[in-house]
Amino acid sequence: MIKKLLSISFKKDGEHSPLYRQLESEIIQLICRGVLKPGQALPSSRELAQSLKLNRKTVVATYEELGAQGWVETRERSGVYISNELPDTSVRTVTPTGKNSIRKWQPAYPIIRQSSSLATRTDPDTEINALGMPAPLYKIDDGFPDPRIAPIEELVREYRRLGRGRLANQFLTYGPEHGSYRLRVELANFLNRTRGMRITEKEILITKGTQMAIYLTTQLLIRPGDNVFVPEPGYRDANQTFTLAGANLTFIPVDKDGIDVDRIEQLCKRKVPKMIYIIPHHHRPTTVTLSAERRMRLMNLARRYRFALLEDDYDFDYHFSSNPLLPLASLDTGGHIIYVGSFCKSIAPGVRIGFMVAPEVVINEAAAIRKLIDRQGEQLLEEATAELLSTGDISRHIKKSHKVYQERLENTCRLLQQQLGDFLTFDRPNGGLAIWATYRRGIRAKAVALHAATLRLKISDGSNYFFQPNTSRPNDFIRIGYCSLDETEMASAIEIWRRALAPFAKK
């Protein structure tokens, strides 16, 4: 029966994607339509290959990919079956205050037009330079994806195809500073589908990562002396960007439910901010998620006091304990939110495709500023990314990497508890790409990092999480990225870390 269904529906189309991808997509469609049921057996790779007149290796690759994404499971000495626990791609929403909310997609905050002068100043890098140390064998980073599992082969394939096609000359000359039109269309569809947004390509600017979008937003909104509220601990690069623009930063504490909205409300009665910077999904660095109740209160404060919310959603795709809350931007009916994100955490840091979502007038002004610092993005890369969005390659990669990273999270938490439980404490995060931990017994992160470097392990020295000046900053926190090392590599890295901590055991 299954072989007959696939024989009828499966059509070879070698021009657009590999055969195993086409077969994979067809099986997923049959599962999603309910034709193939959980627990149902699939034909053996040999039988299906003969039926579809394919090489057996093609079917084996298809089954392996479906297994990596969680669509099927292999039972020893029995065969391949549709998974009893199919991936859940739904997202949990939050109901906006008030019924029948009407979307007013105009900015509810004043913006600085691009003709205004751009303030610049220098701000020295305060990170410790470990020159003279031996090259590290392992790096426990701040929370980066593993580029080894990224769809680079597919991206290069499309890059090469577009570079050789009849439109190559068009993609290699000047293009729109807003970014590739096709990418903006595909991205709007992707964000509408996965994040519950209601946008068009006119409300999107393509950037080189989230940081560029933060910078452009800052140049649009902030003049010297303006008040900007930021979380503490927080994202250092964003705080530096606001400081360079002349902003007065007010630091808002973060607890297990996210940024302290009670504190924001108290401060708004004395000084209304021009903008509040938030990372509501997996706050950087603490990984906590802003609660639904605080989200709605924050939205109401933005409406009442007419300030902008800069929502940084750098890793929406990775949430493991439950379905993710939708971005605040999906609830915005008054034009209060500028939403920024990227594929740098979903694919690889070197794939510099980011985006900024805002009312069209804001996007046009941001594009004018972007033109002054970076005439445009790389059209070939943007067009190739658009193709991967269109074919579903990026969505398939996210499903596949979601499963891999969840397994790595469980492995890392187990190793940390077993090997380093006497030295640090942590809570298992609900998602994101890192673990937020605290050293015990007054152990200082900087001292451990320096000693670990001599053993050829690079770990955080804890210096980039707190930005508030003239205070006694905590020095015992560390953020542990667990995605970029596989299970064997992480075990080796933590073993070196344990040796680096040995001198502190007696203290």
CB 233 within 8 A of CB 254: yes
Least confident of 33-37, 198-202, 415-419: 33-37
Residue 35 to residue 75: CA distance in whole angstroms? 21
Residue 71 to residue 303: CA distance in whole angstroms? 43
- pLDDT, position 39: 87
Q: How confident is the model at residue 507 (pLDDT cuts 50, 70, 90)?
A: low
Per domain, the residue ranges of the chain are: 2-82, 138-145+396-504, 151-391
CB 196 within 8 A of CB 93: yes
Tokens of 450: 């320096």
- pLDDT, position 474: 81
Residue 159 to residue 162: CA distance in whole angstroms? 5
Q: How much is the CA Rg of the chain, to the nearest whole Å? A: 24
- Identify the residue whose tokens are 């990225």: 481
Task: Read off the pLDDT of residues 470-488 as tens digits, 9 standing for 90 and up.
Answer: 666 788 999 999 999 999 9
Q: Are strands 248-255 and 258-259 parallel, antiparallel or unpaired?
A: antiparallel
Q: Collect all residues with Cβ–Cβ distance below 8 Å to 47 and sequence separation of at least 6.
A: 3
- Identify the residue whose tokens are 């404060």: 301
Q: How confident is the model at residue 109 (pLDDT cuts 50, 70, 90)?
A: confident
Written out in words, the top-level CATH class of the domain with range 151-391 is alpha beta
Mean pLDDT of 377-384: 83
Task: Read off the pLDDT of residues 95-104 as tens digits, 9 standing for 90 and up.
Answer: 555 445 556 5
- pLDDT, position 112: 65
Residue 159 to residue 163: CA distance in whole angstroms? 6
Q: How confident is the model at residue 160 (pLDDT cuts 50, 70, 90)?
A: confident
CA 285 vs CA 32, 84, 352, 441, 463: distances in Å: 37, 35, 21, 22, 12
% the chain with pLDDT above 70 = 85
Query: Is the pLDDT confidence value at 15 over 50?
Result: no
Query: Is the pLDDT confidence value at 192 over 80?
Result: yes
CA 150 vs CA 17, 187, 224, 340, 367: distances in Å: 16, 19, 41, 22, 29
Q: Where are the beta strands (DSSP E) in 150-200?
A: none
CB 109 within 8 A of CB 359: no
- pLDDT, position 117: 36
Query: Is the pLDDT confidence value at 176 over 60?
Result: yes
> What angle in degrees, to the nearest 10, is found between the helix axes of 19-32 and 56-69?
50
> Residue 355: how many CA atoms within 13 Å on its side-chain side?
28
Mean pLDDT of 391-414: 93
Residue 395 to residue 355: CA distance in whole angstroms? 17
Q: How confident is the model at residue 124 (pLDDT cuts 50, 70, 90)?
A: very low
- pLDDT, position 123: 36
| Range among 118-122, 172-176, 395-399, 467-471 rated most confident | 395-399
Least confident of 93-107, 127-141, 325-339, 340-354: 93-107
Q: What is the residue-wise DSSP string for 110-160?
A: ----TTSPPP-------SPP-TTSPPPSEE--SS---GGGS-HHHHHHHHH
Mean pLDDT of 484-505: 94
- Identify the residue whose tokens are 């105009």: 106
Long-range contacts of 405-410 (CB under 8 A, 24+ apart): 405/145, 405/318, 405/433, 405/482, 405/483, 406/320, 407/487, 408/482, 408/483, 408/485, 408/486, 408/487, 408/490, 409/320, 409/435, 409/482
- pLDDT, position 420: 95
Under CATH, which number does the domain 138-145+396-504 receive?
Answer: 3.90.1150.10
E strand or H helix at 304, and its extent? helix 292-305
CA 102 vs CA 40, 198, 293, 335, 336: distances in Å: 45, 12, 21, 11, 14
Tokens of 58: 């093609």
DSSP 8-class letter at 40: P
State whether residue 339 is helix, strand or coil. Answer: strand
| Range among 47-56, 374-383, 396-405, 407-416 rated most confident | 407-416
Mean pLDDT of 276-287: 94
Tokens of 371: 């033109």
Q: How confident is the model at residue 374 (pLDDT cuts 50, 70, 90)?
A: confident
Query: Is the pLDDT confidence value at 52 over 90?
Result: no
Q: Are strands 227-232 and 275-278 parallel, antiparallel or unpaired?
A: parallel
Mean pLDDT of 319-326: 78
The residue among 107, 310, 116 whose CA lies nearest residue 213 is 310
E strand or H helix at 80, and its extent? strand 79-82
- pLDDT, position 128: 39
Q: What is the residue-wise DSSP string for 247-301?
A: -EEEEEEEETTEE-HHHHHHHHTT---SEEEE--SS-TTT-----HHHHHHHHHH
> Helices (H) and strands (E) in the chain — how many of each?
16, 15
- pLDDT, position 126: 35
Query: Is the pLDDT confidence value at 91 over 80?
Result: no
The CATH topology of domain 2-82 is Arc Repressor Mutant, subunit A (1.10.10)
- pLDDT, position 470: 66
Task: Read off the pLDDT of residues 251-279 as tens digits, 9 standing for 90 and up.
Answer: 999 999 999 999 999 999 999 999 999 99
Total residues found in the chain within this entry? 507
Query: Is the pLDDT confidence value at 287 over 90?
Result: yes
**Residue 435: exposed, middle, or buried by beta-carbon count in 10 A (0-12, 13-18, 19+)?**
buried
Mean pLDDT of 351-375: 92
Task: Read off the pLDDT of residues 440-451 as tens digits, 9 standing for 90 and up.
Answer: 988 999 999 999
Query: Is the pLDDT confidence value at 162 over 90?
Result: no
Do 151-391 and 138-145+396-504 have the same topology in CATH? no
Q: How many CB atoms lie within 10 A of CB 305?
A: 16
- pLDDT, position 127: 39
Amino acid at 189: N
Residue 168 to residue 175: CA distance in whole angstroms? 12
- pLDDT, position 206: 95
Q: How many CB atoms lie within 10 A of CB 258?
A: 21
Cα 433 → chain centroid? 8
The residue among 487, 403, 492 whose CA lies nearest residue 137 is 492
Cα 473 → chain centroid? 28
